[in-house]
């Protein structure tokens, strides 16, 4: 196959467009939803990143997933700061996962426990996206709801320890290209990446149902 980093990007391209143009994302980034919808979305991210990052310790020495575990990517603490800004200090008490979020986080946890290659698929789908389109979302969120630039509310999108995201993404793609997996396993990882996009789409659909445009 082509370089694995190319293959996985090309294979998920169509679903990426679907995610970008989903009703919920378009409404959110179009400034048509209130900050409550943004907070609800951020709450869902908490469950996703807890599943991704709870696995970091057990996968650090894994030959397939280990190279991807990087402290500068960790998002959970940033999400928690955003949530205490968005929801107040009692944010944990009202935090709930949508059904689609529960299924998504459970699948990540299952991959983390049983299949490091699958975990890489989920890792790629989230972190490389956050380093890319995440910056567009941050800019829109700052303008729409008045968060301080790179401050509380949008810290999830700010990778304080990554000075040069473009260079980091290049290195990440090199890690993908060097992954300790044969072609069949690479194809399975690509299939899992498509599942990861499906999970994100399902979360967006449920969020869209919870925050319909009334006007």
Distance in angstroms (rounded) separating the CA atoms of residues 130 and 23: 19
Let me know: does 120 contact 180? Beta carbons within 8 Å.
no
Environment class of 71 (CB within 10 Å of its CB; exposed 0-12, middle 13-18, buried 19+): exposed
Distance in angstroms (rounded) separating the CA atoms of residues 97 and 111: 19
CB of 106 to ligand HEM, least distance (A): 17
Residues 181-200 that bind ligand HEM (CB under 6 A): 197, 200
Nearest to 198 by CA among 133, 103, 131: 103
Environment class of 30 (CB within 10 Å of its CB; exposed 0-12, middle 13-18, buried 19+): exposed
129 lies in the binding site for ligand HEM (CB under 6 A): yes
Cβ within 8 Å of residue 209, ≥6 positions away: none
Query: Among the candidate windows 62-70, 72-80, 98-106, 126-134, which touches ligand HEM by CB under 6 A?
Result: 126-134
> Of the candidates 132, 161, 171, 210, which one interacts with ligand HEM according to CB under 6 A?
132
Structure token digits, residue 122: 């989920």
Query: Among the candidate windows 81-89, 92-100, 105-113, 127-135, which touches ligand HEM by CB under 6 A?
Result: 127-135
CB of 152 to ligand HEM, least distance (A): 21
179 lies in the binding site for ligand HEM (CB under 6 A): no
151 in the Ramachandran plot: left (φ > 0), alpha (ψ -120 to 50) or beta?
beta
Binding letters toward ligand HEM, positions 96-125, x by CB under 6 A:
----------------------------xx
Structure token digits, residue 75: 């998002």
Q: Total residues at the site for ligand HEM (CB under 6 A)?
A: 17
Nearest to 122 by CA among 134, 132, 107: 107
CB of 170 to ligand HEM, least distance (A): 10
* Residue 140 or 188 with smaller CB distance to ligand HEM: 140
CB of 147 to ligand HEM, least distance (A): 17
CB of 120 to ligand HEM, least distance (A): 12
Residues 26-85 that bind ligand HEM (CB under 6 A): 29
Q: Which DSSP state fits 147?
A: P
Interface residue list for ligand HEM (CB under 6 A)? 9, 16, 19-20, 25, 29, 124-126, 128-129, 132-133, 136-137, 197, 200
């Amino acid at each position: 196959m082509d370089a694995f980093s190319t293959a996985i990007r090309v294979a998920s391209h169509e679903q990426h467009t679907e995610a970008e143009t989903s009703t919920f994302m378009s409404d959110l980034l179009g400034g048509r939803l209130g900050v409550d919808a943004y907070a609800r979305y951020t709450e869902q991210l908490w469950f996703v990143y807890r599943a991704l990052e709870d696995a970091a310790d057990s996968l650090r020495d894994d030959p397939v997933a280990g190279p991807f575990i990087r402290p500068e990517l960790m998002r959970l603490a940033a999400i928690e700061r955003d949530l205490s800004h968005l929801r107040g200090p009692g944010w944990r008490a009202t935090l709930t996962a949508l059904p689609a979020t529960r299924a998504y986080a459970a699948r990540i946890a299952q991959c983390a426990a049983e299949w490091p290659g699958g975990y890489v698929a989920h890792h790629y789908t989230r972190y490389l996206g956050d380093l890319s389109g995440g910056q567009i979302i941050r800019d829109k969120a700052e303008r729409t709801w008045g968060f301080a630039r790179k401050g509380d509310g949008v810290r999830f999108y700010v990778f304080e320890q990554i000075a040069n995201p473009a260079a980091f993404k290049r290195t990440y793609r090199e890690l993908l290209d060097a992954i300790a997996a044969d072609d069949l396993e690479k194809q399975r990882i690509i299939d899992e990446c498509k599942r990861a996009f499906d999970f994100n789409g399902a979360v967006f659909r449920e969020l869209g149902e919870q925050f319909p445009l009334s006007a």
